[in-house]
Amino acid sequence: MERKRVFSGIQPTGIIHLGNYVGAIKNWVTLTKEYDCIFCVVDYHAITVQQDPEAFQQGILRAANTLIACGTTPECCTLFVQSHVREHTELAWIFNCLTPIGDLERMTQFKDKSQQHRDNINAGLLTYPLLQAADILLYRAQIVPVGEDQVQHIELTRRTARRFNSRFGETFPEPDWLLSQTPRIMGTDGKTKMSKSLGNEIGILEPPEAIWEKLRTATTDENRIRRTDPGNPDICNLYTMHKAFSPAETIAVVNVQCRSAEIGCIDCKKMLHENIMRELAPIQARAAEGERNPGYVRGVLRQGAEKCRALAAPLMQDVRAKMGLPGE
């Protein structure tokens, strides 16, 4: 039986953080065992915000290197850069012409981003989810592993597939979104989603001391003022992180001993730091090795793009033919 196809993407801006890792990337690596997985560094999505060309180019390679270090290796999946496969933007244009503007204006990410970048509310920010729909549907992916913030975009992708199919005939499957066990972690402020653009992130390649400093000063249960006050793990972001990084026994201990004030926040943070670093240390070592060998990373991306172009070209030919766009 043919394996189901998985597709997901990440923007190459800023640093890859713990939210990206536990919300998406860790799950991607698990899925490679069972599915035919394609992962993408979505550079065209990132230019909805102004990028400095030189730093941008380095950021794209660094993101790819980090993903490989996390386990998205060519032995188990396909990794490529979006702009290497022209059909993404081509299909996105077609979807632009099928989608009412109202559907796009309703997207939470559009509303948030246009608040954040008031001086640059460009059309790409609005049509961003249709490029995402094109990414997914171009490979007829059935499963899209993402963090919670992307669910609305996958729902739009489903509607887009349905719209195309009903007008031009069955072409695209409607993909399902798949959340990880930790679909959303908050930033070090404990109030807003951990995000590259909010400055509240902990990067997965940051040195152990830097990660400790961020954890040490991170907001916990704000009702717990004194060491002797009982805490409530259910509302504490650090506990969410424990659930993602610590073994079951530690999670159970933290849950009980935080409530009974047997441990303080600093004790809890120390345990968390140890467990986070246990998981990140090998990733950091592999990433450092990759940094020294950019030729390898470029090679992986080249190979990935070749494979994706071979999948995308016939699909686009079919789409053009169905729409009455003449071949040469």
| From 4, 26, 196, 214, active-site residue | 196
Locate 232 and state its tokens. 């409530």
Nearest approach, Cβ of 24 to ligand AMP (angstroms)?
Answer: 4
Give the count of alpha carbons within 13 A of 12, CB side only: 28
113 noted as active-site residue = yes
Residue 108 and residue 298: Cα distance in Å, rounded?
35
Sole window of 56-64, 113-121, 181-189, 229-237 interacting with ligand AMP (rule: CB under 6 A): 181-189
Residue 170 and residue 123: Cα distance in Å, rounded?
29
Number of residues that bind ligand TRP (CB under 6 A): 14
Residue with Cβ nearer ligand TRP (63 or 268): 63
Residue closest to 239 by CA, chosen among 213, 260, 262, 258: 258
Question: Taking CB under 6 A as the rule, does residue 27 contact ligand AMP?
Answer: no
Residue 29 and residue 24: Cα distance in Å, rounded?
9
What DSSP line would sit under 157-172, residue for residue? HHHHHHHHHHHH-S--
Question: Taking CB under 6 A as the rule, does residue 59 contact ligand AMP?
Answer: no
- Residue 7's binding partner out of ligand AMP, ligand TRP, none, with CB under 5 to 8 Å set by partner kind: ligand TRP
Locate 297 and state its tokens. 């990373």
Q: Token match 């204006």: residue?
A: 105
By CB under 6 A, name the one of 42, 204, 251, 301 that touches ligand TRP. Answer: 42
The H or E element containing residue 328 is none
By CB under 6 A, name the one of 4, 117, 140, 184 that touches ligand AMP. Answer: 184
The H or E element containing residue 105 is helix 101-105
193 noted as active-site residue = yes
By CB under 6 A, name the one of 6, 20, 200, 231 that touches ligand AMP. Answer: 20
Sole window of 4-12, 92-100, 199-207, 286-294 interacting with ligand TRP (rule: CB under 6 A): 4-12
196 noted as active-site residue = yes
Question: Taking CB under 6 A as the rule, does residue 150 contact ligand TRP?
Answer: yes
With vertex at residue 17, the alpha carbon angle to CA 16 and CA 20, rounded to the nearest 5 degrees, is: 85
Sole window of 15-23, 33-41, 228-236, 291-299 interacting with ligand AMP (rule: CB under 6 A): 15-23
Residue 44 and residue 157: Cα distance in Å, rounded?
17
Per CB under 6 A, residues contacting ligand AMP are 10-11, 19-20, 23-24, 146-147, 149-150, 183-185, 193-196
